[in-house]
Amino acid sequence: MKFQEIVTGDHVHLDVDVRDPVLALHEAAKSFADEIEIETETIVKELVERERLGSTSVGSGFAIPHCKIDGLDRLVVSLVRFKEPVDFGGVNNEPVRFFFTVLSPPDQPAAHLQILSQIARLLKREDLREQLMSAKEPDEIVATIKAAAEAEGL
């Protein structure tokens, strides 16, 4: 499974005005709750439980909240860029401006880890991080990710 193949503009939300970490997770969850037919609150509960194990912040203003959800039949991803930084703990308590949220079925641990690994690899690219923070439209975000993934051989 390739990250660039499951990212769509429909699941990219830019300049969301939220400062609270739980509300930030709520925004990420609601972006695909209807499509996957799972209650937003169920998704938020699972994401919060995962964050209790350790922050998914990866530094440079990015985080990769993720969890496994019962009843989900496929892996899904949403991307949310916040208008202002969100205090999300993690690397040096640096605030987060961008979420890559990953949900997967419990019976697909390999795909879950593969997508997380691909996202982490892409986020090592400073040029990609800068482009994600300055993009004006969801389709620009998707195109930027696809170009970076192609450059990385993903």
Single-letter residue type at 139: D
Report in angstroms the alpha-carbon separations of 53 from 63, 67, 104: 14, 11, 18
**Is the torsion defined by CA of 26, 29, 32, 36 positive or negative?**
negative
Catalytic residue among 11, 13, 66, 112: 66
Judge whether 11 counts as a catalytic residue. Answer: no
Q: Just list the catalytic residues.
A: 66
